[in-house]
Amino acid sequence: MNKDKIRSVVVDDVDMMRATLKKVLDNFPNIEIIGEASDYESAREVINATQPDLVFLDIDLNGLTSIDLLNEITCSPKIIFITSHPDFAIKAFELNAVDYILKPISSDRLKKAIDRVTEMNEEQPVAAFEEGDEERFKPDQIILLSFDSKLNFIKIRDINYIEAFGNYTKVYMNDNKLSITYNSIKNWDNRLPEDVFIQIHRSTIVNLLNVIKIEKWTNDTGRLFLKGMEKPFEISRSYFFQIKKKYKV
């Protein structure tokens, strides 16, 4: 077995689509097709039997959603979703999908996705963000976040602020890009470096490096101003007290 090959499985319920995709993949010498499947059950069997490095996965498998399939397999392959359904993009990237490609397939887009898989295999492991993790990120540590349904590597220090968004969080970068992640403010607070990020409200964490000023406001609360933003952030009473206690000299 060639260690430089990416052992791959193709899953799609349309025979012509699988044939077309395999033909396109013939142009990628590092991709080795070791199996294929046309429905949910056979996909689970093939993936569990072959333990591939990569799966090209359609969302709709004869009316069943393949995202659920990822909870039933015994390995952790990288996933490139190829689908006609744009509605599952956020969920797909919450599962750390490499890419989410809409049909009809663009050869250039497919190449970018496969190049990303190759880069991920060659690079140092990227920091994971999982429930229960206790180790804090370092300011220069790299993690993966999705922006406009595309995964990007970002440095922790380039996060500007984070806001709660129901069961999700909105992560705003220094360049104003937005990523929505399935993580709580509490999880972020437990993982972010304490010397760079502070929580100022039960729903808000900000990057200290971008703070212009903090001022007192009504009822023992405060207001915080970040670079490039006109509207101030509210600092709740309890967090304002903690901030003054920790940083005031």
Give me the phi and psi of 131, to 5 degrees please: -55, 130
| R_g (Cα) of the chain, nearest Å | 22
Specify the fold of 6-122.
Rossmann fold (3.40.50)
Give the pLDDT of residue 125. 46
Give the pLDDT of residue 1. 41
C-beta separation of 127 from 192 below 8 A: no
pLDDT tens column, 33-88: 999 999 999 999 999 999 999 999 999 998 898 988 988 888 889 999 999 888 88
- Alpha carbons within 13 angstroms on the beta-carbon side of residue 23 total 7
Q: What is the mean pLDDT of each run of 10 residues along the chain (249 residues)?
A: 80 95 94 96 95 95 89 88 84 77 88 86 54 76 81 91 87 92 88 95 95 92 92 94 85
Give the pLDDT of residue 89. 78
Q: In the sheet that 233-235 helps form, which strands lie side by side, from edge to edge?
A: 211-216, 222-226, 233-235
Give the pLDDT of residue 130. 55
142-247: in CATH 3.10.20.30: no
What gap in Å lies between CA 71 and CA 144, rounded to an integer? Answer: 21
Give the pLDDT of residue 134. 62
Give the pLDDT of residue 184. 86
The full set of domain ranges for the chain reads 6-122, 142-247
